[in-house]
Each structure stands twice: as structure tokens, then as C-alpha cells.
Amino acid sequence: GFEWIDCHDMTQSVLSYLRRDGADFHVVILNFTPVVRHDYRIGVPQPGLYREVFNSDSRFYGGSDIGNGPVVDSQPVAWMGHGDSLALTLPPLGGLVLTLVGGKE
């Protein structure tokens, strides 16, 4: 399935959405500008640790390797209709895919 997280951020040219397969999901964020976005907050449907499983700006693809390290811990800050959120660094002209790897109780 598909679910928008945010399709209204015209000022920063960022789109974000969820891809679902039953209970499993991936978070996709696309930055369409040549500007790095620091501390970009995005709502997520579950609290926990999120791993970057794809970064189009990775050095493996000839990019500048701007990303979020091995995992990002969600924060209990409600955002974009979700109870938890992530503060991310978005690479320029890049896309990220994150997946939940460890939930919180």
C-alpha cells in the first residue's frame, strides 16, 4: 500500500510517504533541491529505531555520503498526523528509504 506522510512541503521541495506490506513499511523521503536539509522532521507510524536502507547520495553511487548514520531513534514528538517523529538530514537532490528495525515498548 501507499500513504502520504507529507506532500505539501512546496517551500522546501520535499515529499515523503510510506510504502506498506501488511504490518511492514518503509519510509521514503525525497529532497528535490541541491540544499542539504538538516533536522528535517518527519512523522512516523511507530516509535523505534529506523535504519537507512537506501540513500541515493551514498558514496557507493558517487554521492557526497550525506545521511543519518546506521540508525535514527524516533522521538515522542507528534508530527504530520503521527505520534512519533524522526529528525533527519536530507541529502541534496537525494532520496532516502528507512525501515523500522527495533520498536519501543
Kindly indicate the confidence band of residue 52, based on its pLDDT and cuts at 50, 70 and 90. Answer: very high
What is the structure's pLDDT at 105?
Answer: 57
What does the pLDDT look like over 28-50, one tens digit per residue?
Answer: 999 999 999 999 999 999 999 99
Sequence-ordered list of residues with C-beta below 8 angstroms from that of 10, at least 6 positions apart, any chain: none
Percent of the chain past pLDDT 70, that is, above it, reads: 98
Q: Dump pLDDT digits (tens) for 79-90.
A: 999 999 999 999
Smallest Cα–Cα separation from 82: which of 26, 5, 16? Answer: 5
